[in-house]
Chain A
Amino acid sequence: MKLKKKKTNDGTAVNSWLIRRPIKRWFPLFVLPTFLCFVIGFIWPFAQGIYLSFCNFNIPRDAQWVGLSNYAKAFGDASFSHAFWNTASFAVVSILLINLCAFGIAYALTQKMLGANLFRTVFFMPNLIGGVVLGYIWSMIFDAVLKHYNTYLTSNASYGFWGLVILVAWQQIGYMMIIYIAGLQAVPSDMLEAAKIDGANSWQTLTRVIIPNVMSSITICTFLTLTNSFKMFDQNLALTGGAPSVMMNGAKVNMTELLALNIYSTYNINRNWHGVAQAKAVIFFLLVAVLAIGQLVATRSKEVQQ
């Protein structure tokens, strides 16, 4: 993601013919295995995926070119646009919640505090547990809480939505906190001292000195929370699986479904929907790519160069 960095060492690499020539001869060992796997695991499926999004297919061999009709169907699908707005609002809520909490906790933990290391360890722990398992743990807990009100998690779309927000916050605050702690520890101490001598209060120090210095952490964390919430699948599947569903304009719409799960369930309707699901996947990829790159460009420009 740090595209700027790569320019720095070009000069040395060119001069080192001593190293370059012999390595080149070992191309089949050093690069070929990874590159072949990369072609199998990424390039070929990606290219085939773009092609198949214009086709009607059950398996790739029987694909028939249908032009843009899959895209038309995808855009006309009520469940897809519902999933899009669901994902967008989920992303906004979780980005704000996770980053504010993670920064607050990181800020507190980098002050002199008894037990800071232990707290850090505990907050990070949920990241080691897989999304599917997390989903089931929380669905058990939410159902137990909602039972007191004689209802259950999948009865109401907003329970599912906020449930997923709580789950994801519980999981990712610890991860982002680690990144913010690393950023906060790298704030030059002479700057902090200078601010102290100049009589800045702690709010001024925070907003004028610390935050500009941790902009690169903020970039990374917003990038990660943004892409994570758009790509969210396992937790969504395990927590509610999209339930409850309603009929909207003659189509079944799963109320708590996010984009990634919507693509998956579209594919599983029947073979006529395979191409539509692939077209949705292409739209989804373009959306994630544009958002990710746009976000990086936008926050990178605010970073302090040291």
Chain B
Amino acid sequence: MKKTQYSLGSRILTVLFALLCLVWIFPIFEVLINSFKANDYVNTAAFALPDKESFVGWANYVKGVTFGNYPFVKALGYSLVITVLSVALILLFTSMSAWYIARVNSLFAKIFYYLCLFSMIVPFQMVMFTLTFTADQLKLNTPFTIPVIYLGFGAGMAIFMFVGFIKGLPLEIEEAVAIDGGGPICTFFMVVLPMLKPTLISVGILEVMWVLNDYLLPYLVLDRTKYMTIPILVQYLKGSYGSVDLGATMAVIMLSIVPVIILYIFCQKHIIKGVAAGAVKG
């Protein structure tokens, strides 16, 4: 460890930022303490710490995972299935297409590339109603088939980022593989894909953040009587009843954000780097 001297001004800044960080964490802390309080106390004394009267232990959590006629675990499972399948599909297929676009340079490749750029500025509201009909007709309304839609709607940004990166890769390596008799499949999977690793990570992170937290697309497309994701479940618990059990809702919210935050603490370096890299490309 090397020692750095910090000036007085920088120490004061550190203290100020530490306070600001407490403000930043406060909403999450609020959810945490309220998830241990009885419903009435969430309404009347939201900022108080749980005391002898208001503390209910894990009761909110027990209630939260079962109430609303839809088990929390099921929604969590579907969220994970959709996220993992969609992101895997996006990473594999868009990187392949991006390589084709970057290397082939035909009219079709150019048109496809510009359509992808174009799709990035189209808001979801433009296509949401018609997408719902199309998805229904093609039976893309289950967690196992909805990744097709995520691949289609998310292709634009992913292809844009991959093409940008592939164009910076030296062509000589791929030519050497071709001269040595490697076909395109071999070249792509053995040589190009490993070189794409940094972009795969940043596209992967951006897509996970999008798909996992997406509310409207799965809400409109999925057959809601059978399938819910976490954001849909939270909206359903809070939105559909007049008087809702706030304590239990806070417990459900806590359950849905804790895994994400733990994951973030462990790979925050990759996540922050990935976001920065993604944005610089964009």
Contact = CB atoms under 8 A, between A and B. Distances in A.
Interface in A103-142: 105, 108-109, 111-115, 118-133, 136-138, 140-141
Contacts of B6: 112-114
Contact of A34 (B97, B130, B231): B97
Interface stretch (B57-65, B70-78, B111-119, B193-201): B111-119
B142 interface: no
A30 B100 contact: yes
Interface stretch (A13-21, A69-77, A191-199, A246-254): A13-21
A281 B213 contact: no
A61 to B, nearest CB: 9
Given A138-B27, A178-B275, A267 B129 contact: yes
A52 interface: yes
A288 B125 CA distance: 11
Nearest to A238: B235
B17 A234 contact: no
Contacts of B13: 108, 111, 113
A34 B155 contact: yes
Given A19-B171, A31-B100, A181 B276 contact: yes
B24 A125 contact: yes
B10 A263 contact: no
B235 A132 contact: yes
B277 to A, nearest CB: 8
Contact of A113 (B10, B101, B155, B256): B10
Contact of A131 (B187, B213, B280): B213
B155 A115 contact: no
B49 interface: no
Contact of B14 (A26, A115, A126, A136): A115
B159 A178 contact: no
A120 B185 CA distance: 41
A149 interface: no
B203 interface: no
B134 A132 contact: no
A189 interface: no
Nearest to B10: A113
B213 A129 contact: yes
Contacts of B104: 13, 20, 23-24
A284 B97 contact: no
A260 B31 CA distance: 28
Contact of A281 (B125, B140, B152): B125
Contact of B103 (A13, A128, A278): A13
A245 interface: no
Given A1-B282, A140-B46, A288-B121, A133 B234 contact: yes
A93 interface: no
A11 B163 CA distance: 15
B105 A40 contact: no
Interface string B195-220: 00000000000000100111110000
Given A26-B185, A140-B46, A42 B119 contact: yes
Nearest to A262: B125
18 contacts: A18-B178, A19-B174, A22-B178, A23-B99, A39-B152, A42-B119, A42-B156, A45-B134, A108-B13, A113-B10, A114-B10, A121-B265, A128-B260, A130-B230, A140-B250, A231-B123, A264-B128, A281-B123
Interface of B: 4, 6-7, 10-11, 13-14, 17-18, 20-21, 24-25, 27-28, 30-31, 34, 42-44, 46-47, 93-94, 96-97, 99-106, 108-109, 112-113, 115-117, 119-131, 133-134, 138, 140, 148-153, 155-156, 159-160, 163-164, 167, 171, 174-175, 178-179, 183-185, 187-188, 209, 212-216, 230-231, 234-235, 238-239, 246, 249-250, 253, 256-257, 260-261, 264-265, 268, 271-272, 275-276, 279-282
Given A129-B257, A216-B280, 8 more contacts: A30-B99, A33-B151, A40-B138, A114-B11, A118-B21, A143-B46, A234-B216, A281-B126
